[in-house]
């Protein structure tokens, strides 16, 4: 029987070292696949994806009110799956990616299809180009969100969220149906700029509130409770109008936040002059005039 040589022992040690080095990366890749996916959040996301697809089918069949309602139901599913994942400690990178793919269909392709069938078809090629731009911007917005999510500010969204961009379109369809409005040729003129504005806001860096920092356990005033109850009552009686007002208000909240932040950084000339001529804080030296020269810069 041949005895092992020193060369064979060295070769065996090298093979064991290489195998040990590869074991950790292999486990890092294979372990998530062995664990599978979490059932409940994935089912809710799949339901939202299916509802978004059925909304597209309804739009093509001419059932625009049903298509708009389905987009709102998909909106509820989109908000529910993330909260279920966080409460049940079943959040995963797979869920994040799958949710984004579902959002492209439910809040990108579905509202764009409805918008084309409802308002932009008379524009011909320009109509489907505008709708295609909406879908592309929605996909770009979701891809950017996935990349920036680990380091992003949880209190703000960079750009209009894709579900928030789909809601004004769906709410406009329901409001026109409820009030039986027939805008005729004015409908494409109104909806084409709105669609382009929504597309630009999605890929912009305009800040939007995320509402993730709301603490439902915090005590609030009686006036706040009364206002919330009145809002719920109005939403029950006139859901179409309520959704339209809330969605348009959220769409405009981003530019308002951006404008407010810029005004705080760069106050108007009158306010800036008032600050320069205001008295100094207690304990700071007062500047003096010298021979008619302008006042020196205030010390703070």
**CATH label of the domain that carries residue 134:** 1.20.120.1760
pLDDT, the chain, mean: 80
Residues 6+ apart with CB under 8 A from 241: 175, 178, 234
Task: Read off the pLDDT of each residue in 131-144 and give the average, rounded to a whole number.
Answer: 96
Residue 283 confidence (pLDDT): 47
Residue 65 included in any domain? yes
Does any domain span residue 251? yes
Q: What's the domain range around 61?
A: 34-269
Q: Kindly state whether residue 287 falls inside one of the protein's structural domains.
A: no
Asked, for residue 20, whether it belongs to a domain, the answer is: no
The number of distinct structural domains making up the chain is 1
Asked if the model's pLDDT at residue 234 lies above 80, the reply is no
CB 120 within 8 A of CB 130: yes
Any domain includes 258: yes
Q: Is residue 279 part of a domain?
A: no
197 pLDDT higher than 80? yes
Predicted local confidence at residue 144, as pLDDT: 92
Q: Check residue 272 and give its pLDDT.
A: 52
Residue 183 lies in a domain: yes
**Residue 194: beta bridge partners?**
none
pLDDT of residue 237: 79
pLDDT over 60 at 226, yes or no: yes
Q: Which residue has the higher pLDDT, 6 or 146?
A: 146
Concatenated DSSP letters for 25-77? HHHHHHHHHHH---HHHHHHHHHHHHHHHHHHHHHHTT-HHHHHHHHHHHHHH
**Highest mean pLDDT out of 97-101, 210-214, 264-268:** 97-101
Q: Does residue 296 lie within any of the structural domains?
A: no
Other beta carbons less than 10 A from residue 300's beta carbon: 6
Q: For residue 30, what pLDDT band results from cuts at 50, 70 and 90?
A: very low
> In the chain, how many H helices and how many E strands?
11, 2
Name the DSSP letter for residue 150: G
Least confident span in 77-91, 131-145, 160-174, 271-285: 271-285
Question: Of 75 and 152, which is predicted with more confidence?
Answer: 75
Q: Is 79 helix (H, G, I), strand (E, B) or coil?
A: helix
């Amino acid at each position: 029987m041949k005895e092992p040589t020193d060369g064979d022992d060295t070769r065996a040690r090298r093979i064991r070292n290489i195998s040990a080095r590869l074991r950790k990366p292999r486990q890092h890749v294979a372990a998530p696949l062995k664990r599978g996916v979490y059932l409940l959040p994935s089912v809710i996301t799949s339901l939202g994806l299916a509802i978004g697809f059925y909304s597209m089918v309804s739009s093509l069949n001419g059932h625009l009110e049903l298509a708009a309602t389905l987009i709102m139901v998909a909106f509820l599913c989109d908000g529910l799956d993330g909260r279920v994942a966080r409460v049940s400690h079943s959040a995963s990178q797979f869920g994040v990616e799958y949710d984004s793919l579902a959002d492209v269909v439910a809040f990108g392709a579905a509202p764009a299809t409805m918008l084309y069938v409802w308002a932009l078809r008379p524009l011909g090629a320009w109509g489907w180009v505008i709708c295609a731009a909406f879908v592309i911007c929605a996909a770009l917005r979701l891809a950017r969100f996935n990349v920036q999510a680990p380091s992003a500010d949880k209190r703000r969204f960079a750009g209009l969220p894709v579900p928030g961009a789909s809601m004004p379109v769906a709410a406009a369809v329901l409001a026109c149906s409820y009030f039986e409005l027939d805008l005729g040729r004015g409908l494409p003129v109104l909806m084409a700029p709105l669609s382009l504005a929504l597309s630009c806001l999605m890929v912009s860096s305009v800040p939007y509130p995320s509402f993730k920092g709301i603490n439902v356990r915090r005590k609030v005033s009686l006036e706040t409770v009364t206002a919330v109850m009145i809002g719920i009552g109005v939403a029950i009686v006139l859901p179409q109008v309520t959704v339209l007002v809330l969605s348009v208000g959220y769409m405009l909240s981003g530019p308002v936040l951006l404008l407010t932040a810029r005004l705080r950084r760069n106050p108007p000339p009158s306010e800036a002059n008032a600050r320069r001529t205001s008295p100094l804080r207690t304990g700071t030296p007062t500047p003096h005039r010298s021979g008619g020269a302008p006042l020196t810069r205030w010390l703070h």
